[in-house]
A and B are shown apart, each in its own frame.
Chain A
Amino acid sequence: MKRIALALIILASFGVSGLFAQELSPERKQAIDSLALEKVRDLSKYISIIGSKETPWSEANRVIDRAEELFMQGSEIGVSSLARPEISYYTVRKYFERLMRLNYNKVEISWYNIEYVSDLQKQPDGTYVGVITIFQKFKGYDAEGRLVYQDTTKKDITVYVKRKETQIGGRLIGFWDVLLGDIRVKETTR
């Protein structure tokens, strides 16, 4: 009986060490780090397209759909202005629709210094969670081409990366699903 109990303990130990063996290699971790950063760069591009007054209406709506797919359901995006102290938070769809209708004749939005402020860390449910910080330069012009408003905003984006599986062509494909969470305004300057 003691031998059976000992065997069970050893088997259980192997089970636990097997779990640890599933930790990602540095190469794979680097790949998902880069993938999450690329999703934030994708969002940066989409925001620039949606905000641009030169983007045709149908294209802007198509890009809003793509941009929305980057986010977890229920995520919110913060909006700040030098003209008021409070920060407003909008659902992702609402944010993009407001962005498309901003009351300027020309809008330029660019993101830079996109980097991790908190590395992706594995959570008990297997999801990797991290925070990426970005700086956004916003410029709004009037009909005469004059720059009438500009600011620079530092924002933190929570990113979630989870291993999922799907059937494609009869095969089970494992993939890393990157989803963006809330975008929080940290500071706004001229």
Chain B
Amino acid sequence: MQSEFAVIDNQFNSIAAANGVDDANNKIQTTLNYFETPDIPVLIIISQNGGFNDYDRPTTITKFLNYLKDKKAYKYRVESAKKNSSGKITELELITK
């Protein structure tokens, strides 16, 4: 069964697998359309224990997308997303695979 966030996960994977810097930058611009602003917060869960989450240092969606471009790997999946009335994501939570 596909996750409700499969579209976002696929976008992130496509940036990580981009064919060079220009291709990655074009994909980043396309992906940013899913988000309310380029600065929405991204939280990354590094472990879960008894309903308690441990997070990495919070980042922004622009920094995170550039991180995927630099690392050429997407080792997370979307855990949750908050959206505004226009359906744009205002806060994203990822979890380490």
The A/B interface has a contact count, at CB < 8 Å, of 60
Q: How far is the CB of B54 from chain A (nearest CB, A)?
A: 6
Contact code string B41-80 (vs A, CB < 8 Å = 1, else 0): 1010011010000111110000100110011000000000
Closest to B24 in A: A59
Looking at B46, B66, B90, which has the most chain A CB atoms within 10 Å of its CB?
B46
Contacting residue for A56 out of B21, B41, B57, CB 8 A: B21
Q: Are A176 and B46 in contact (CB under 8 A)?
A: yes
Within 8 A of B (CB), among A29-83: 30-32, 34-35, 42, 45-46, 49, 55-56, 59, 62-63, 66
Q: How far is the CB of B42 from chain A (nearest CB, A)?
A: 10
Interface size on B, residues (CB 8 A): 19
A153–B90 Cα gap in the complex (Å)? 44
Q: Pick the interface stretch among A112-120, A167-175, A182-190.
A: A167-175
Q: Give the contact-size bracket for chain A.
A: 20 to 34
Q: Are B70 and A175 in contact (CB under 8 A)?
A: no
Contacting residue for A174 out of B47, B55, B82, CB 8 A: B55
Looking at B49, B56, B82, which has the most chain A CB atoms within 10 Å of its CB?
B56
Q: Are A35 and B46 in contact (CB under 8 A)?
A: yes
Q: Are B47 and A175 in contact (CB under 8 A)?
A: no
Contacting residue for B55 out of A46, A56, A173, CB 8 A: A173
Closest to A48 in B: B70
